[in-house]
Structure formats: structure tokens, C-alpha cells
Structure 1
Amino acid sequence: MNARSAWLSPDGQTRGDTRVTQVGAVTPVTDAKGRSGVLPGSEGGQYRLTGLWLAGTAGTMSATMSVGRAVIQSTIARGAYPVAVTEPVTLTFTDGNPQYGRIDLVVLRVYDHDHDGLGRYEAVVEIVEGEAKALPVAPDAPDASLPLFTVAVAAGLSAGTGGIAWDTARTDLRPTTVAVGGILPTRSDDTAAGGYPGAYREVADVLQRWNGSAWVPYPKAVGGIAPAGAVSTGAYTGQYRDSSTGTLQRWNGSVWAPAVTTPWFTSSLDAGSTTSTTYTAALVETTVTALTLNFTAPGTGAVLLHFGARISTKDNSTATAFMAPQITQGSTVVFTPNDEYAASYGGPVAGSVATMWRLYGLTPGTVYTMTAMHRSSDAAVTCWFDNIFMRVDPTA
């Protein structure tokens, strides 16, 4: 039988017909299989998942499985088994091995003699006991079963020795499943792939979308700005987010970078002087041996250089003091200071001067260094520089 339809055959609908024709019933995994899982929900909608919870009894080896609904997907030929646990189920774990601990697996299991030959037609909650060993691991889940919890049973453990410490021994494995198109609420350790591009799930209050190869954050529509803390990795180059410090950032394909590049700035309030008639970074009578500023060339390769100082020529009204920047990239000098571009001033009474000009042709993304350089027009005249500043702005 290549195609099967529910509620069509005049001879009656088989159990297999019902299972394999649950079109749209659960989250797709392939074009013909759904995702096994517990149906989410809780009384009053307060919790993500309360169905089939395992509540241990303190001081004992027993626990109770609560009511709930689930779907267990088998092979394409067998189809999906819908299961409902309508009354609490009590489970009792075997006492611990005298020498080694073990890990037991609690599953919701379907027995179907037509396929497994075990002589039963029923769904049960059962314990699959693990092997006691020095480094215990959980056993494999049986065919047509849904893993719900693991429970660690320590060596020598029994009701007489205090029973199972449920808060630390129990590990929740319950997967979830929802109808086709529904948003799947799941845990952060769920590594299952999406069934199709455009599928959605929620993990730790963050909406994610399956893009065909990975789950990517999707807190806002394309073009929206993701709120702080909602996105750790960008979903696409050009996505924006608000950082935890309130700074707008842009995903460049590999890292979050500032969306708006702020100016680079440095200054010195420690006055210094020079009598050198050639440009020098070193001033005397100051602790600042050289004032420098590192900056990264923007994508345009162009920046605006701002610089200036409070300048005087000691006891002289005819000499001129010059301040100009030198630009280097590593050990290579990109721009040499000269008088034409300098901020200049002459006179024994100090005056504040500044200038600005555009430097272009830089390599985008490369770090450059701007160094304040100074000189005097007369070797006999001491030129003083105070309140020195430099600023670099990215520009078109």
C-alpha cells in the first residue's frame, strides 16, 4: 500500500492508517516524520511544560509521573503514536549496586506486537535500568519510546540509607512538540535541527528561527534593532542591536562593532617647550615625552584631523611656534609634519590656536598613530606649548 488515507476506506480505518495520516499534527522533522515530544502547557499558562513531570518522594526510591500528553514518532511505515497518561504513575527504582553507581532512564514507551513482536499492544511509563559501573552512563532508549528523565542511583543507595536525592539525581530530558507552524518552546540544550527554513522555537525567552542550517536569534523583524541581551550572534550582516552599555552595535559578519564610530581624542595639560627648528615630538620640562593617539581608519579611508594648543614664544614677538601632526602606520611614516598644515602662533603672551584638515587614502580597518610634533622658527627662542589636544573623526 503506497498511499493511505484516514476516514476513507469502506472496509474500516486501521490503527496504522490513523497513525501515518496525522498530517500537521506535530512539529515536522522530515517530509514524512514528526518530532517526538511532550505537548507543552500548564494550568493557567504559567509554565512552559508540566506534563509527565517526575516528582520524587523524599527519603525513598520511589517517584510519581504526572499526567500529560505526548507523541512518539516511529518509522515512516509505523507512523506516530499519540499517547495520553491520564492518571499518575508510581515508579520504584531498584536499590543501588554495592560497589558502583548507575544511571536509569525513565521513558514513555509504546509496545506494538505488529511491529516489535513482543506480544503487547499498550503504552507504558517504565524504567530502563542502567549498568552499574565506575563511570556509569544512561542506557539507550528502546525502540518507539520517548526519553523523559535520567535518575542517578548511587552505589549502596536504598530507602534505608536516605533514598534518592531527587533534586540532584534527576535530569529532565523531556522534549516538546507542537503543531505544524507552532512556536516550539524548548530547552537551551536542545540540539535538534529545524524541520524546514522558517520554523520557530523559543529558548530562554528568545525567539529563534531555523535558517536551513542553524537556529538564529529572531527577536525583531529584519531591519529591527534587537534589545540588549536578546542576541549574542547576529542573524545577518548588517543587523543592529542595543548593547548592555546602551551603545548601538552592528553585526559585521563575525563580531559586533559600534554602529557609529566615535571620535578618538587625547590631550595634555602639562606644558612643555622646545627650541628645535625641526619638528620634534619631545618637549622639555614636561612629563609627557610624546603625545600620541591611535585610531582605526574607517571604511572610507578618510579622517578629519583636529589639533591645537595654547602657545607662546618666550620674550619674543617675531618668532613663530608650529604644531603639526605626524601620521604613522607601524614604522612607516604616512604623513610628515610641515608648516603649511600646522597650527602656528607667535608672541610672548600665550594664545590658543587650533586647525583641522582632511587626511585620505588610508587603508580601512588599519590602525594608525597620530603624534603631536613641535618646532620653533628661531633656535634662540623658546616656544611653549600647553593644553595640547588631538582628535580624529571618521569622515566621507
Structure 2
Amino acid sequence: MTVTSAWLSPDSQTRADTRTAQIGALTPVTDIKGRSGVLPGSDGGVYRVTGLWLAGTTGTMSGTVGVGRAVVQSSIARGAYPVAVTEPVPLTFTDGDALHGRIDLVVLRIYDDEYDGSGRSEAAVEIVRGTPAAVPVAPAVPDVSLPLFTVAVAANTSTGGGGIPWTTASTDLRPTTVPLGGILPTRSDDTAAGGYPGHYRDITDTLQRWSGTAWVPYPKGLGGIAPAGALTTGGYSGQYRDTSAGQLQRWNGTAWQPAVPGPAFAQSLDAGYTTSTTYTSTLTDTAVTALTLNFTAPPSGSVIIALGARAYTTSSETTTAHMSPQVTLGTTVIWAADDERAASGSGAVGKSVSTQLRLNSLTPGATYTITAMHRSTSSTVPAWFDTIYLRTDPIA
């Protein structure tokens, strides 16, 4: 027999059965049940798992499930069935339906007459045939079975008609399991929860730890800088990572922030005007509805804010055009626009005006927004602003 299971045969258990099927305790799912799966491993350690691989024969309806070891977990009373496939198992798929395609399921199935009354006490690799349909779906996994692959069988598929296109028709479903305490190698679509806090898995080349509620990327080299692409979520506040753009970032507990906040800059080269005598962010006759600039507060909590524009007042030498910053944290106004903090100009000829201000007592790591606010000192004289800019520089 090429498919054996320890502690299953009612007649006898050979020493070879015991040796090939014995794999030890497996990845826990509960305090008494384990995770069903194929044991990982490959010759030379090149692949995550090669056991029970389905290889099709080009131009035919035939395939072969290769050797490998697996565990199939059943109920608490029945326990887990260790299985070893010691020789390749040939499979033949029935021809396709005349009208519709179907999806077949390849499984490793346990028959145990003591519990299921099947008259069989053995492990088997077999095909569960799907139902032809306009939009076919895979059949349900039989009880006490481990899904290995799905195989799409198109309408009118047969050996004489070219057979199954194996490179595109089969989908790998094989879950993995490892001895208790081992790091579980998984596929990128594996959504199963961990068995306990401190349980580790390797997924998409990233080591993750089960926190009790979620898989959390494990820091690569505690205290070191994680390479670009290695982490999407930080493992601890103060962790650093490189980005694909070459920027060094620091995890603040909820988000990645620039490790060294640099100057931030925004500008508008489209002129606009206002006749509002109170500060407004909106200018008329411009495509820029409001000029804003976001910046991250540095560890010192202090920045220099610079702003400026080319300002003039239409046909008036006495009206003044004021531009002042408004600083907000979310919806909270930290600095309201004020003439004391304004860059101001007057006259019918445009003049470049600017000012610099120091803002203190910011929350380090928080993101603030500066909005350019404008007003005229006369409701009948348009105050024009062109080449508007905002800039912040962190203070150490």
C-alpha cells in the first residue's frame, strides 16, 4: 500500500507504517486539536513544500500526486491522522461536459469504518468531481479530508481533444503544518488565525507573530533598520525602515513618519483675488481653491513657517492685501490668521512680500496643516495674490 496511516489499520501496523507516518505533535488550532496540512520541505530546501504535489501529463486527462507526509485532523474523539504517501498516486479525470465546465477537487481523504461506517479503514488520494455549470464552483471538501488542488475541466475536454491544460487549470490549495513550536510556512492567501500568542509563521518572505488577535510582522533585527519592502506595519514604536525611494522612516506606534522631517513646500503660480475684509482661503479667478501644506512636527516641537506672494491692490495705493497662515491639527485651529503674522503689500503695482514665523509647542510626530489665508482692507478693492508659497523648516 502506498498510502499509509499510523494507528488506523484494524489488522496490523508495520514498523514501516510507524516510521513513515510518525511526525510528532502538530501546529495547534485549539488546546486539543491541531492544524491539518502537508509537512513542508523539499530537496535542497529550495521550495516551501513539495509534498503531495499534483503533476499533470500534457495532452491527457491524467495526473499524479507525488510523495509526501501530511496530518488530517478530525474530531476531538477521533484525533489526528498522520499520513505518508510513499509512492506517486496516479489520477484520471473524467472528460469534460458537453456544455459546461466544472471544477474537480483533489483531496487526501481518511476512511475509518469505526466512525464513518464506510467499510474502509485507510487513507486515500482521490478526486471529488465537481458539477458542470455556466459558472462552476469547486465541490465541498468531504469530512476528514485535506484539500490539495482544484482542477478546472473545461467543456468538451478529453484526451483526444488536447487534455487538461495543466499549467493553468490546477490551483494549489495545500495547507501546511509543522511540529509544535515550529515556524509555519504559509501561502500568501492563508487567512487562518494563530494557535496561541507567540505563534510564528513565514508568509511572503516576512516573519510574523500572532498577537492573540492578529498576525504582526516581527521586527527584522531588533534595533536595526528594516530593508525596503520588508515591513508594512512596525513592530514597536521607534523602529526604523528604509523605503523604496530611499527615505528613512520611523514607526510612531500607528504610522510611518519621516525619521528626519525635512522642509515642506507648496506653491501656486495662478493669480487670484479677494474683496473679503475677513480672512478667507478662497480666491476668485484662480484654479487653486485653497493653498495648503501638511507637515510633520519634529521632535523639538518647533518649526519655522515662511510664506509669501506677489501682492497688489487694484487701482488703490491705500488698500492693503494681507496673507497670513492658519495652522490646524485636524479640526483644531492652532494659529488663526492674523495681521500680526501676515505678509502685506499695497499699491497698484505688484510687489513680492514675505515673512517668517516661529511656531512652538507642537506635538512631535503629529501632522499639521497650514492654509494660506487672504484678505483686503477694503470690500470694494480687490486684493490680488500671485506666486503664492508656503514652507516649513524643522528646528532641531
Q: TM-score, normalised by structure 2?
A: 0.71
Question: 1:158 and 1:328, CA in 2 relative to 1: closer, same or farther beyond 3 A?
Answer: same
4+ residue runs of structure 1 moved beyond 6 angstroms?
Answer: 387-390
Q: Does the aligned pair in 1 maintain the 2:59–2:164 contact within 8 Å?
A: yes
How far, CA to CA, are the matches of 1:220 and 1:371 in structure 2? Answer: 46
The answer as to whether partners of 2:209 and 2:216 remain within 8 angstroms in 1 is yes
Match of 2:155 in 1: 155
Paired residue for 2:264?
264
The corresponding residue for 1:75 is 75
Instruction: After superposition, give the CA deviation of every residue in 1:226-267 in whole Å (9 maximum; x if it has no partner).
Output: 221012234455543221111122345554332332123479
Deviation at 1:64, TM superposition (A): 0.9
Task: Kindly state the Cα deviation for residue 52 of structure 1 after the two structures are TM-superposed.
Answer: 0.6
Classify 1:165/1:243 alpha carbon distance in 2 versus 1 (closer, same or farther; 3 Å). Answer: same
Q: Are the aligned partners of 2:104 and 2:130 in contact in 1 as well (CA < 8 Å)?
A: yes
* 1:245-394 → structure 2 map (5 Å cutoff): 245-252=245-252, 254-265=254-265, 294-296=292-294, 298-299=296-297, 302-305=302-305, 326-329=324-327, 334=336, 336-337=338-339, 357-360=357-360, 365-369=367-371, 391-394=391-394
| CA drift at 1:138 | 0.9
Q: Is the 8 A contact 2:23 2:82 kept in 1?
A: no
Whether 1:134 and 2:134 are equivalent positions in the alignment is yes
CA deviation after TM superposition for structure 1 residue 220, in Å:
1.9
Task: For 1:140, give the aligned amino acid.
Answer: A
Larger Rg: 1
2:212 aligns with 212
Partner of 2:193: 193
Unaligned runs of 5+ in 2: 1-12, 269-287, 310-321, 344-353, 376-386
Distance 2:25 2:369 in 1: 57
> 2:86: which partner in 1?
86
Alpha-carbon spacing, 1:132–1:393, altered in 2? closer, same or farther (3 Å): same
Alignment match, 2:180: 180
- Secondary structure at the counterpart of residue 87 of structure 1: coil
Contact map agreement 2:201 2:207 (CA 8 A) in 1: yes
Q: Aligned partners of 1:67 and 1:216: how far apart in 2?
A: 34
CA displacement, residues 161-204 of structure 1 (integer Å, 9 cap, x when unaligned): 11101111101111111111111111001111110111111112
Separation of aligned partners in 2, 1:185 and 1:158: 36
In structure 2, give the amino acid aligned to 1:48.
R
Give a deviation string over 1:268-322, Cα, whole Å, max 9, x none: 9xxxxxxxxxxxxxxxxxxxxx9x984446557642245899xxxxxxxxxxxxx
Tell me the C-alpha RMSD between the 2 structures.
4.8
Q: Quote how far apart the aligned CAs of 1:388 are.
A: 11
Number of the residue aligned with 2:113:
113
Note the alpha carbon deviations across 1:88-126, whole angstroms, 9 max, x for none.
111001111112211111111111111111111111111
Distance 1:362 1:80, change over 3 A: closer
Does residue 61 of structure 1 match 2:68?
no
Distance change >3 Å, CA 231–CA 193, structure 1 → 2: same
Instruction: Tell me the secondary structure at the aligned position of residue 161 of structure 1.
Output: coil
Measure, in 2, the Cα distance between the counterparts of 1:125 and 1:33. 23
Q: Give 1:81 shift.
A: 0.7
SS in 1 for 2:115: helix
Alpha-carbon spacing, 1:356–1:97, altered in 2? closer, same or farther (3 Å) = closer
Distance of aligned partners of 1:391 and 1:211 in 2 relative to their CA distance in 1, 3 Å threshold: same
**1:315-339 deviation per Cα after TM superposition (whole angstroms, max 9, x unaligned):** xxxxxxxxx9732359x9835455x
* 1:36-85 CA-partner distances (Å, limit 9, x unpaired): 11111111111111111111001110001111111111111111111000
Cα 1:389–1:129 shift into 2, 3 Å: closer
Change (3 A) 1:213 1:23: farther
CA pair 302-187 structure 1, distance change in 2 beyond 3 A: same
Letter of the structure 2 residue corresponding to residue 359 of structure 1: L
Query: Structure 1 390/116 Cα, relative in aligned 2: closer, same or farther at 3 Å?
Result: closer
Task: Measure how far apart 1:214 and its partner are.
Answer: 1.4
Identity %: 64
Structure 2 counterpart of 1:10: none
Q: Is the 8 A contact 1:297 1:362 kept in 2?
A: no
SS at match of 1:168: helix
Q: In the alignment, which residue of structure 2 is the partner of 1:202? A: 202
> How many Å separate the matches in 1 of 2:372 and 2:98?
73
TM-score between both structures, scaled by the size of structure 1: 0.71
Distance 1:118 1:76, change over 3 A: same
Partner residue, 1:319: none
Contact 1:294 1:368 in 2 (8 A): yes
What are the within-5 Å matches in structure 2 for residues 25-44 of structure 1?
25-44=25-44
Change (3 A) 1:295 1:303: farther
